[in-house]
Amino acid sequence: MTISFRAAHDDIPLFRRAELPDGARACFNEPHVPPLEGLAEAIAAEIPHLNEYGSRLEGALANIARAHRRAPDEVLLGSGSMDLIRALIGSVCEPGDEVVFSWLTFEGYVGACHAHAATPVKVATMSDGSHDVDALLAAITDRTRVVLLASPNNPSGRALTRDQLDRLLAEVPPHVVLALDEAYSEFSSSPRAAYAADLFGSADPNLPDNVVVLRTLSKAAALASLRVGYALATPDVIDGLSKMRTQNGVDRLAVAAAEFCFTDRGLEQIEDRAWWIKAERQRIERTLRDRMERAEIDDRPHIDIPHSDGNFVWLPVGERADDLRRHLVDTAGIVPRAYTGAGVRYTVIEPEHNDRFIDAVTEWATG
Ligand SMILES: Cc1ncc(COP(=O)(O)O)c(C=O)c1O
């Protein structure tokens, strides 16, 4: 190669989907459900206009704003929430400025920092994978421009509690952006969990200037392939972020899909599906917990089964993560995601695969 990449390039892993083994895909946190009823028609209506740049955004922005009880100029669409996270870092970070986030978390944050020559600052989560708010606040320096937190966190599934959220809102300095990535919030069942989009949509009419809420249609709305997410922030911040995005970067099929998802017909279906996934996640966790308790009573080996608020189950098996993944691929034909040295994340999919997952984990952990 005759050109050289920036040094930060070496820190971004190359993603090769083709290397996945055969088996049921439970590694990307994609819901297994088909597209919403009515969605195909909404998208098809746009096909005659695919020759045109961009599309009218008014309907989508109005519907999203209505769902969150915000104004349309407080909403920005992105090509997935990842696009908006990159736009945010690119908008506020000069080279070398710091972005603070928990670790483990969604690895996309690291690439987003490197794309803009920002410095990622990783703060260890608590042992249960929840955010360590004291440590996050202590990590803020003069160079910090963004504190970026996934709630529920990926891969632990732990969500910020109302107390933690209140503290962050009160104590992150006003010149630092508090970015709350709520990609999995629709699957949350913890009574103590709190989400910024709900907080500012119902209780407090004023969005603080330094808060950016990120949501996606890739998870609960099952539209990962269309690449559409959105940010909620003050109109000035929305304008600032939009400068960093590719013009017309959300295609008109995705815009039409977003508009449809936030109609009453779309929202009802999304809620139904999210409820099903929540119930199924709880069934998997409860069944595994029961089996582990029985193994413990019988003096057999067993593992902890923590609670997750995402559309996935997290098994913090530490150094044995790669071994558990191999076991699930080889014996159950299931491909979960292993985090070497930390644990295995399994996306809730069809019940027959979930049952095979439960049996294979039980055999591996208690045998
Ligand atoms: C926490 C978190 N945020 C954001 C994303 C990216 O979502 P999108 O498809 O909207 O870019 C993911 C994807 O898995 C994620 O886990």
Rounded distance from Cα 315 to ligand 1 centre (Å): 20
Instruction: Select from 106, 212, 250 the residue to mutate for testing ligand 1; criterion: most ligand atoms less than 8 Å from CB.
Output: 106
Average pLDDT over residues 259-275: 97
Q: pLDDT at position 223, please? A: 95
Rounded to the nearest angstrom, the distance between the alpha carbon of 215 and the centre of ligand 1 is 9
CA of residue 41 to ligand 1 center, whole Å: 26
**Average pLDDT over every residue of 3-23:** 81
CA distance 367 to 364: 6
Test site for ligand 1: of 154, 156, 311, most ligand atoms within 8 A of the Cβ:
154
For residue 203, the model assigns a pLDDT of 47
Q: How far is the CA of 167 from the centre of ligand 1 (A)?
A: 24
Atom of ligand 1 nearest to the CA of 224: 9
- pLDDT of residue 17 exceeding 80, the answer is no
Residue 183 alpha carbon to ligand 1 centre in Å: 6
So what's the pLDDT on residue 200?
A: 80
Domains of the chain, earliest start first: 7-33+267-366 (3.90.1150.10), 49-263 (3.40.640.10)
Ligand 1 center–CA 4 separation, angstroms: 29
Rounded mean pLDDT, 208-230: 96
Q: Which two tokens stand for residue 173?
A: 């300095």
Given the DSSP bridges, would you call strands 343-347 and 75-78 parallel, antiparallel or unpaired? Answer: unpaired
Supply the residue whose CA is at minimum distance from atom 6 of ligand 1.
82
CA distance 351 to 367: 23
Quick one: DSSP state of residue 171?
H
State the distance from the centre of ligand 1 to the C-alpha of 181, rounded, in angstroms. Answer: 8
Placement of tokens 């609960």 in the chain: 220
Contact 80, 112 (CB under 8 A): no
Q: Residues near ligand 1 with C-beta < 6 Å?
A: 29, 80-82, 106, 108, 150, 154, 181, 183, 216, 218, 224, 229
For ligand 1, the distance from its centroid to the CA atom of residue 311, given in whole angstroms, is: 12
Ranges of beta strands (E only) in the chain are: 24-26, 75-78, 98-103, 119-124, 144-150, 177-181, 211-216, 229-232, 312-315, 334-339, 343-347
For ligand 1, pick from 84, 219, 230, 311 the residue to mutate: most ligand atoms within 8 Å of CB.
219
Residues 180-191 as b or e (16 or more Cβ within 10 Å = b) = bbbbbbbbbeee
The mean pLDDT of the chain is: 95
In angstroms, what is the span from residue 290 Cα to ligand 1's centroid? 31
* Sign of the alpha-carbon torsion through 245, 171, 182, 46: negative
Residue range 296-339, pLDDT digits in tens: 999 999 999 999 999 999 999 999 999 999 999 999 999 999 99
Q: Percentage of residues in the chain with pLDDT exceeding 90? A: 88
Closest ligand 1 atom to Cα of 228: 10
Residue pair 269/121 in contact by the 8 Å Cβ criterion: no
pLDDT digits (tens, 9 = 90+) for 232-256: 999 999 999 999 998 889 999 999 9
**Is residue 205's pLDDT more than 70?**
no
Burial class (CB in 10 A: 0-12, 13-18, 19+), 94: exposed
CA-229 nearest atom, ligand 1: 10
Helix or strand (DSSP H, E) at 43: helix 39-44
**Ligand 1 atom closest to the CA of 153, numbered from 1:** 1
Ligand 1 atom nearest to 218, measured from its CA: 9
Q: Do residues 336 and 328 lie in contact, with contact meaning Cβ atoms separated by under 8 Å?
A: yes
User: Which pLDDT tens digit goes with each residue over 20-70?
Assistant: 889 999 999 999 998 899 999 999 999 999 999 988 899 999 999 999 999
From residue 278, alpha-carbon distances to 195, 237, 310 in Å are: 17, 33, 8
